[in-house]
């Protein structure tokens, strides 16, 4: 599905794309095709090694620390994280 959606960006001649890229190297060729077609591309919460593009990522460590500190401040003691 990701592969089809990436190629669809080119077919639709979009002005730009913000992409939450999931498939590692599997669809990297399609990501490069999008970029080579001149479509501005920004990756969300991903940095793909060996692929030059703009990206925006969250600071998960600081976010988790602040969340736990907030819970502790409110008196919670048994804090669990599932991922």
pLDDT digits (tens, 9 = 90+) for 32-54: 999 999 999 999 988 888 889 99
Residues 2-30 have pLDDT tens digits of 999 999 999 998 999 999 998 778 899 99
How many angstroms separate the Cα of 33 from the Cα of each of 43, 61, 68?
Answer: 15, 33, 42
Is residue 32 situated within a structural domain? yes
Is residue 82 situated within a structural domain? no
pTM for this predicted structure: 0.70
Quote the number of domains for the chain: 1
Is residue 83 situated within a structural domain? no
The length of the chain, given as a count of residues: 83
Strand ranges across the sheet with 54-56: 17-19, 41-44, 54-56
To the nearest 10 degrees (0 to 180), the angle between helices 28-36 and 2-11 is 10
Is residue 78 situated within a structural domain? no
Read off the CATH number of the domain in which 29 is found. 3.40.50.2300
């Amino acid at each position: 599905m990701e592969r089809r959606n990436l190629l669809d960006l080119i077919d639709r001649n979009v002005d730009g794309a913000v992409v939450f890229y999931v498939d590692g190297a599997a669809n990297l060729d399609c990501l490069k095709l999008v970029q080579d077609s001149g479509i501005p591309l920004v990756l969300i919460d991903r940095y793909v090694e060996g692929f030059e593009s703009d990206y925006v990522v969250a600071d998960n460590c600081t976010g988790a620390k602040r969340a736990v500190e907030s819970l502790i401040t409110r008196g919670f003691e048994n804090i669990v994280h599932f991922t």
